[in-house]
Amino acid sequence: MSNELTTFSAIDEKVLELYAQNMSRKDIALTLDIPLKSVNKVFRKPNVKSKLEEIIEHRELMLKAKHLEILEEITDEMLE
């Protein structure tokens, strides 16, 4: 694994976010209206696996926070 710092643009991150949601590379290209070649280029960057893991972890944390918020709302409603 490379120790070099890899910079991911906003579009790179969006590509990886959609990929983390099980979207195919072709569908990502269509959704973002960019060439498939550009999507594939993102996956050739160093440290892409680490970035994908980071995105997935962040998404899981956000989902957990949302679930806790919903549970708190339900609990509050039940106590009223």
The span from the CA of 62 to the CA of 52, in Å, is 15
Mind listing the pLDDT tens digit for each residue in 12-30?
999 999 999 999 999 999 9
pTM over 0.95: no
Structure confidence at residue 2 as a pLDDT band (50, 70, 90): very low
Environment class of residue 56 by beta-carbon count within 10 Å: exposed (0-12), middle (13-18) or buried (19+)?
middle
The span from the CA of 58 to the CA of 69, in Å, is 17
